[in-house]
Each structure stands twice: as C-alpha cells, then as structure tokens.
C-alpha cells in the first residue's frame, strides 16, 4: 500500500483559530514542543457525521494540557465546534480526528513560562486500526521490553506526546517481529495496556481489566465497561499478573482507533475470540453510530439489525 505522506495532502486543517490549506499547517523547528515534548493531543472518531464522545475527548485535551502546566487559549466549546467543522470542511462523515496543543517557539530551553500555546485540529479517513482480516482471529501481542512509568515518574493521566516515546519503540518492535502490537506491564509487573489501547480479559462470563493507575483510563474502555454492566455482566478492575493469562478464555483491546479488537495471542498464550468479545464489538459498533451514548437505543438498534 502506497503511503500518502501526512504533510502532502489536500484539505483543510484548523490551526490557531483559522482553517488553513493542509500543506500550510506548519510550525517552526525551534518550537518548544519539538524539543521538550510539550504537546498533548486527542484521538477521536466521527461516525455518521457525529464525533463519538466529543465533549469527553475535548475535556481530556484540556485536562492533559493542565497536567503539563499549560493552557489552551480557547474554550472547550470552541474546540468542540472546530473539531466538527474540520470534518465537515474536508467532506468527511466518517473519519479520525486529531486535535493537538503544543508550546510554541517564543522560548528555547527547558523553561516555558513565557511560551504561547498553539492548537491544531486535523481529520483524515482511517477505516480500521488493525487489519480487518485479523479482527475475527484476533491480533497477536508480544511482551514489551519497556514498562509503563509509574504515576510518580510521569504525568500518566495526560495524553501527552512524550509518553508515546516508548510506545513507538514497542510498536515498531512488534511489527518488525511479525506481531500486531506489544503489551506493556507497569513498573510492578502487572499487566497495563498496549501501545495505544486498553486491555480486557474474560473468565467465566466476568470481564477483568487492569486498574488504570499509571495509564489512560480510555474513553472506549469506560464505554465498554458501561455496555457490559448494562447487560448485567460483572466487570472487575483489578491488578492482573502475567501468570494469570492461562486462566482467561478471551482477551480484547479497546481504544478510539482500535475500537473493540479481539486478541488471539499474548506472548505464548493463545486465545480464541468468542461470543462475549464479538457481542461487545457489535454493541460498541452500534453505540458509536447512535452518537448519544443511549444504551436503550442501542438495544433496539441491535434487535432491529
């Protein structure tokens, strides 16, 4: 598949309050963000013309910036409106949306007390994060070499660019070795998450997922927990040890890009994706297209398929 570079496309990007032609959405090489990773971002999906959980994503963007000690020079309402408008301007009704806020080039050095914050929002078409053919059999995860830093060592509640440094190393290693992604442990050896998604396991009808104490409590994660609980399923947030993997019957990951993706292998452990995972996949797929997060409407939508 030929890659279309992200700096050489047609379309519009929202940059600091204005829509600019795609190729003109540039920043200076001496931007603080480029050197010191002072950038926070979001990953959102628009389905049928509505961005799923837009307000929650925008809130997290602002919260991430606050954690990194900078502020966006816009209101959440302005960012919400611009996010939807950027999709519309590009003619998309189903796409991925990437807002990003970063420190500019006013100041060079670690200190950034006098730097300005810039904001951009781009959108592009991105059908599935993982190869659609793999979705039924499940993706293959290898064990990561790096662990997630503890909350005492990094701003782990923020969706901050710097936290992805080890994720890119681990994702590259996975793909080079023929896997789809890497599964990371926390600093105490408990299962944490993959490089861009949260993880769930199933045992005896109950759903287990790591407590998000040093990684993102994903918006998809919370949605899937809500769906499962609304069906009367038990969802347990707990510490999960790698030695427990053989006690589970199914495994899946969640994320805005990954949606609900079955896992067929973690290291040596093989899983066969089955009913509960496929059911949650379908329910999540139905819910995101309703926009409102209304599980009653979702039940109806599934019943009427």
Contacts of 20 (CB under 8 A, 6+ apart): 12, 13, 14
The answer to whether residue 43 forms part of the interface with ligand PMP (CB under 6 A) is yes
**C-beta of 197 vs 276, nearer to ligand PMP:** 197
Query: Is there a catalytic annotation at residue 159?
Result: yes
Contacts of 164 (CB under 8 A, 6+ apart): 195
**240, 270 contact by CB (below 8 A):** no
**Which positions from 150 through 169 interact with ligand PMP, judged by CB under 6 A?**
none
3-state class (DSSP) for residue 209: strand
x-or-dash string of contact with ligand PMP, 217-256, rule CB under 6 A: -xxxx--------------------------------xxx
Largest Cα–Cα separation, the chain = 59
Beta-ladder partners of 255:
259
The answer to whether residue 196 forms part of the interface with ligand PMP (CB under 6 A) is yes
Place of tokens 């966006």: 72
Q: Which stretch binds ligand PMP (CB under 6 A): 85-93, 114-122, 194-202, 286-294?
A: 194-202
**C-beta of 43 vs 264, nearer to ligand PMP:** 43
The answer to whether residue 193 forms part of the interface with ligand PMP (CB under 6 A) is yes
Min dist CB 269 to ligand PMP, Å, is 21
Q: What residue is closest to ligand PMP based on CB?
A: 218
The answer to whether residue 209 forms part of the interface with ligand PMP (CB under 6 A) is no
Min dist CB 255 to ligand PMP, Å, is 4
From 128, 134, 159, 297, the catalytic residue? 159
End-to-end CA distance of the chain: 33
Min dist CB 101 to ligand PMP, Å, is 15
**C-beta of 119 vs 225, nearer to ligand PMP:** 225
Min dist CB 256 to ligand PMP, Å, is 3
What does the alpha-carbon distance between residue 281 and residue 139 come to, in Å, rounded to a whole number? 14
The answer to whether residue 216 forms part of the interface with ligand PMP (CB under 6 A) is yes
3-state class (DSSP) for residue 230: helix
**Which positions from 44 through 83 interact with ligand PMP, judged by CB under 6 A?**
none
Min dist CB 218 to ligand PMP, Å, is 3
Task: Count residues near ligand PMP (CB under 6 A).
Answer: 14
Q: Which 3-state string (H, E, C) describes 234-281?
A: CEEEECCCHHHHHHCCEEEEEECCCEEEEEEEECCEECCCCHHHHHHH
**C-beta of 115 vs 198, nearer to ligand PMP:** 198
Q: How many CB atoms lie within 10 A of CB 33?
A: 23
What does the alpha-carbon distance between residue 267 and residue 272 come to, in Å, rounded to a whole number? 14
**101, 61 contact by CB (below 8 A):** yes
Q: What are the phi and psi torsion angles at 93 (to 5°)?
A: -115, -20
- Catalytic amino acids? 159
Residues in contact with ligand PMP by the rule CB under 6 A: 43, 193, 196-198, 215-216, 218-221, 254-256
């Amino acid at each position: 598949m030929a890659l279309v570079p992200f700096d050489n496309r047609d379309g519009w990007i929202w940059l600091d309050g204005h829509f600019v032609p795609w190729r003109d959405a540039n920043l200076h090489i001496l931007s603080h963000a480029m050197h010191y990773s002072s950038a926070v971002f979001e990953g959102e999906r628009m389905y049928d013309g509505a961005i799923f959980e837009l307000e929650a994503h925008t809130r997290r963007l602002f919260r991430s910036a606050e954690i990194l000690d900078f502020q966006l020079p816009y209101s959440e309402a302005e960012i919400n409106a611009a996010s939807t408008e950027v999709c519309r301007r590009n003619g998309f009704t189903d796409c991925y949306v990437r807002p990003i806020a970063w420190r500019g080039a006013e100041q060079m050095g670690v200190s950034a007390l006098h730097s300005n914050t810039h904001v951009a929002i781009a959108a592009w078409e991105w059908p599935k994060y993982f190869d659609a053919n793999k979705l039924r059999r499940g993706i293959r995860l290898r064990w990561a070499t790096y662990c997630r830093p503890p909350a005492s060592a990094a701003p782990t509640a923020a969706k901050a660019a710097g936290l992805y440094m080890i994720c890119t190393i681990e994702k590259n290693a996975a793909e080079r070795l023929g896997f789809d992604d890497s599964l990371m442990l926390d600093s105490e050896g408990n299962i944490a998450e993959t490089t861009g998604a949260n993880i769930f396991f199933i045992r005896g009808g109950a759903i287990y997922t790591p407590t998000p104490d040093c990684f993102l409590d994903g918006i998809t994660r919370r949605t899937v927990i809500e769906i499962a609980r609304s069906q009367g399923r038990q969802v347990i947030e707990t510490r999960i040890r790698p030695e427990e993997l053989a006690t589970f019957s199914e495994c899946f990951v969640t994320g805005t890009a990954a949606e609900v993706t079955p896992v067929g292998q973690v290291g040596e452990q093989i899983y066969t994706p089955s009913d509960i995972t496929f059911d949650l996949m379908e329910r999540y797929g139905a819910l995101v297209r309703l926009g409102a997060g209304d599980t009653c409407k979702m039940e109806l939508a599934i019943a009427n398929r």
